Chains A and B, each alone.
Chain A
């Protein structure tokens, strides 16, 4: 068993190494045909840029994407500086430099990787998947009989913020930085998923297709781990299956297939305000101009947020979304499960959490107000603040840095629900409904709690579950995503996720069950 696991780990690490090495490899040459087609596609009118490119880049070989990218982005910046100075606004290149560069670099790759896409798919994804499965499946035996087996989690360098955790942290943060801000560095990664993208949507893979494909792959493989670890727990098995299904079908396959039929890319489960650009004018315009389906999506998106979300939260708590449907939650519950114990449970962390998460909710609502005002009035600014600027700030700070780089990159350090806990405006919205109008609670089983602290330790949302359980109180908290792990790890069977009558779900108790105090006496004497 140990040998199989070691072989698996080696294969995984080889796959990961090849994957990492890929960004440093490859040959690129921007041919004049490629360059001209990009220029005409984009309607570029900057003669300065075109001259620079023709002089320094076109027809010249490059052995890595970084120098090529740097040539292109420098050419864009130099040209823009001069055009802006001369106020030649129609010559300015408005595209983000690295996105523009991505298009050129993607089309310019030559050689090994581009010609052997499947081979490299197998050397990266293939080895990674096979290796990970070989590492994980023997746990059916090595973990021992079904049951909670958190043995050694706090001794393991990967799960106790040890060196492996920090390494994973750096790797993940690096990955997200590249994905969001330097797509032109990672065209080699997109090559290896080109064939899959072609089959699905008919297009070559963008960095977002790569991300979507990786997301599904990682979730699927880590879901296998969940199935093994929690094989005694039907709640965990069903929940994992559900998030996996919604990720693969709703977040990945359906949008790509829509694109194949020249419809807008849309994830039907992604509710505003998590889907913060739903009301952006480009999206509204695209939906309105794409006929019946577009109109359906528009209405669906609004109904989902205003009706379905609160009604479902009333009946089932926010878990129906956060732990059963949401993609962010899906990654957190599969890839992030090994890190769940790292979330901070201190009171101070809770104070930060409430300010930040509700702050983001206010931010997104204000931004959407601005956006809609601009959309209907045509005025580009509100109260002297440009809507576009607000959108850009939100997109950069919240959409990219918070949700991506911090939200996922920080898993190995801050626990697996960093985004959900501190950042997600939808979680904040669902939470308000859950706290004030819902049938959901975690029931505490009378006086059976021994304050051991497993529940609090393994709460990914940083809730001090024990603080309630040891008082015999039900747990009603806006942040609870209903993952059910507190109930699973409780060695005394004290916690149960329930959707019961709303009345009495919040039950502060003076005296715990088990001690026969005459409560009326006690109350009268107060």
Chain B
């Protein structure tokens, strides 16, 4: 009898783990979810509301895939975990035995105890159910005359873009003095502020929510701003002030938790045969310069890949490589490789180039003394992941990166290239003579 691997959560982490376990073994696999029947790409939910895709399109695998690969799907909400008897207890009263348990339950939106935060018309933008709620409360700009979004991060701006696509006026309350400035350097943050305003969003920086006011039916009527006391009438409030691990159901178990499920580098919890991956997993100590909890698509995927190896007998540590991430702010694409902190650290020097149109820019970070390349933020210009991964591994210098910008460019063909302008600006500012090299397939492929 093959071991029974039970995975709670059908997001990218859980599903990646399941797929790789199946690739490597014949173990019995069950994935549990209360959210949806089938795996879908959470990051694509916004495109369903915007009408770019239907919900089916967000599902990477056809419905027959699971049965064909003998990945058993169970719809249900796990209420408690009994690690002694290795039993899951569901809300409906049924139970399930496991041999190994993978907790991959992801996140839930943060709520900071605002008055009125549970009213009708108040929602996060994380679950499929949030999307359904949004469709109910904000189907168009007659039903929803204005929406207020609270929280200045990636989900907030995506929600703003979503509502904007249906011509619903949006007021966007951002606690910080500039959008996402805890992550983005001032230049980039300013660029995105402009992009938000350009799209007609009523962006309120350095502004906090005081309370959400109800109408007679228990539905949102307006919100009040902390600083000014201003009341803004609205029909929908989006709470997008970050997410935290979705682990309430194990709080009473013996599994050690902090903010998330505590795991070691092998993604093992304190209980044998219980593992946690993805948004809900918390490292005892951040790996490299990473934070202990990383609610990022890619890290969830990588943890799933890694844990599958361990579960299938090849016990290996989770060793995320060089940091990378990407996002899109309305029409501006963003990619980052390596580290570009909001504030430069003392050993760092920065170089920033921005196009005169204000929609494209790159920000490079490198070591003051050695000139070693540390990281890049790129806005409106696509860059090659393999290139920067190799550059970081090989500890190349800033000059090397600039010389080889043509190799790094990943924009579609016939796009205007800005490498010359970028290098020229760098040379001018630093009194250097970096020469741009022609793109070389040989170098790109040896990476």
Q: Which residues of A contact B (CB under 8 A)?
A: 144-148, 150-156, 232-235, 238, 341, 346-347, 443, 445-448, 450-454, 456-457, 466-467, 470, 484, 487-489, 491-493, 496-498, 500-501, 503-504, 511-517, 521-522, 525
B320 and A516 contact, CB distance less than 8 A: yes
A341 CB, nearest partner CB in chain B, Å: 8
Q: Give every chain B residue within 8 A of A448 (Cβ-Cβ).
A: 298, 324, 326, 335, 385
Instruction: Say yes or no: A514-B324 contact (C-beta < 8 A), given A445-B385, A453-B60.
Output: yes
B405 CB, nearest partner CB in chain A, Å: 15
B160 CB, nearest partner CB in chain A, Å: 13
Total cross-chain contacts (CB, 8 A): 169
A108 CB, nearest partner CB in chain B, Å: 51
A154 and B412 contact, CB distance less than 8 A: no
Q: Give every chain B residue within 8 A of A453 (Cβ-Cβ).
A: 41, 44, 47, 53, 57-60
Instruction: Say yes or no: A517-B319 contact (C-beta < 8 A), given A445-B384, A493-B410.
Output: yes
Residue of A nearest to B198 (CB): A145
* B165 contacts A by Cβ under 8 Å: yes
* B54 contacts A by Cβ under 8 Å: yes
Q: Which of B118-126, B181-189, B210-218, B413-421 is the interface stretch?
A: B413-421
Q: Give every chain A residue within 8 A of B331 (Cβ-Cβ).
A: 145-148, 232
* B347 contacts A by Cβ under 8 Å: no
User: In whole angstroms, what is the CA distance A492 to B326 when docked?
Assistant: 6
Instruction: Say yes or no: A233-B412 contact (C-beta < 8 A), given A451-B12, A492-B333.
Output: yes
B 313-340 to A, binary, CB cutoff 8 A, 1 in contact else 0: 0101001111010111011010100000
Q: Which of B43, B57, B319 contacts A456 (CB 8 A)?
A: B57
Q: Give every chain A residue within 8 A of B322 (Cβ-Cβ).
A: 514
Q: Which of B77-85, B258-266, B300-308 is the interface stretch?
A: B300-308
A149 CB, nearest partner CB in chain B, Å: 8
Q: Give every chain B residue within 8 A of A232 (Cβ-Cβ).
A: 331
Closest 4 CB pairs of A and B: A446-B385, A147-B331, A493-B382, A452-B44
User: In whole angstroms, what is the CA distance A512 to B314 when docked?
Assistant: 17
Name B365-420 residues within 8 Å CB distance of A.
382-386, 389, 410-416
User: In whole angstroms, what is the CA distance A447 to B385 when docked?
Assistant: 7
Q: Give every chain B residue within 8 A of A493 (Cβ-Cβ).
A: 326, 333, 335, 382-383, 410
Residue of A nearest to B23 (CB): A510
* B444 contacts A by Cβ under 8 Å: yes
Residue of B nearest to A155 (CB): B51
User: In whole angstroms, what is the CA distance A489 to B43 when docked?
Assistant: 15
Q: Which of B60, B165, B306, B385 contacts A467 (CB 8 A)?
A: B60
B41 and A450 contact, CB distance less than 8 A: yes
B53 and A454 contact, CB distance less than 8 A: yes
Q: Which of B54, B309, B314 contacts A154 (CB 8 A)?
A: B54
Extra contacts, 20 of them, besides A145-B330, A154-B54, A456-B57 (Cβ < 8 A), are A145-B199, A151-B50, A234-B415, A234-B416, A446-B389, A450-B41, A451-B44, A452-B44, A452-B53, A454-B44, A454-B47, A487-B412, A493-B333, A493-B382, A493-B383, A497-B412, A512-B302, A512-B305, A516-B319, A517-B306
Q: Give every chain A residue within 8 A of B414 (Cβ-Cβ).
A: 234-235, 238
B16 CB, nearest partner CB in chain A, Å: 9
* B230 contacts A by Cβ under 8 Å: no
Name B194-231 residues within 8 Å CB distance of A.
198-199
Q: Which of B44, B301, B412 has the most CB of A within 10 A?
A: B412
Q: Give every chain B residue within 8 A of A446 (Cβ-Cβ).
A: 324, 384-386, 389
* B297 contacts A by Cβ under 8 Å: yes
Q: Give every chain B residue within 8 A of A515 (Cβ-Cβ).
A: 302, 305-306, 319-321
A492 and B44 contact, CB distance less than 8 A: no
Residue of B nearest to A504 (CB): B445
Name B253-303 residues within 8 Å CB distance of A.
297-298, 301-302
Q: Give every chain B residue within 8 A of A151 (Cβ-Cβ).
A: 50-52, 165-166
B415 and A235 contact, CB distance less than 8 A: yes
Q: Give every chain B residue within 8 A of A233 (Cβ-Cβ).
A: 412, 415
Q: Which of B52, B385, B441 has the most CB of A within 10 A?
A: B52
A5 CB, nearest partner CB in chain B, Å: 15
A458 CB, nearest partner CB in chain B, Å: 8
B343 CB, nearest partner CB in chain A, Å: 25
Residue of A nearest to B381 (CB): A493
User: In whole angstroms, what is the CA distance A441 to B417 when docked?
Assistant: 21
Name B23-63 residues within 8 Å CB distance of A.
41, 43-44, 47, 50-54, 57-60, 62
Instruction: Say yes or no: A496-B52 contact (C-beta < 8 A), given A147-B330, A346-B62, A514-B324.
Output: no
Q: List 27 A-B contacts (CB under 8 A).
A: A150-B50, A154-B51, A156-B51, A235-B415, A341-B53, A346-B62, A443-B410, A445-B410, A446-B384, A446-B385, A448-B298, A448-B324, A448-B335, A450-B41, A451-B44, A454-B44, A457-B53, A489-B52, A492-B328, A492-B335, A493-B383, A513-B321, A513-B385, A514-B322, A514-B385, A516-B320, A522-B309
Q: Give every chain B residue within 8 A of A467 (Cβ-Cβ).
A: 60
B320 and A154 contact, CB distance less than 8 A: no
A118 CB, nearest partner CB in chain B, Å: 40
Q: Give every chain A residue within 8 A of B166 (Cβ-Cβ).
A: 151-152
Q: Which of A144, A497, A504 has the most CB of B within 10 A?
A: A144
User: In whole angstroms, what is the CA distance A467 to B319 when docked?
Assistant: 25
Q: Give every chain A residue within 8 A of B326 (Cβ-Cβ).
A: 448, 450, 492-493
A176 CB, nearest partner CB in chain B, Å: 29
Q: Give every chain A residue within 8 A of B389 (Cβ-Cβ).
A: 446, 513-514
Q: Which of A145, A454, A525 contacts B52 (CB 8 A)?
A: A454
User: In whole angstroms, what is the CA distance A147 to B410 when docked?
Assistant: 17
Residue of A nearest to B61 (CB): A467
B297 and A450 contact, CB distance less than 8 A: yes
A447 and B324 contact, CB distance less than 8 A: yes
User: In whole angstroms, what is the CA distance A330 to B412 when docked?
Assistant: 20
User: In whole angstroms, what is the CA distance A445 to B297 when docked?
Assistant: 15
User: In whole angstroms, what is the CA distance A346 to B62 when docked?
Assistant: 7
User: In whole angstroms, what is the CA distance A145 to B166 when docked?
Assistant: 15
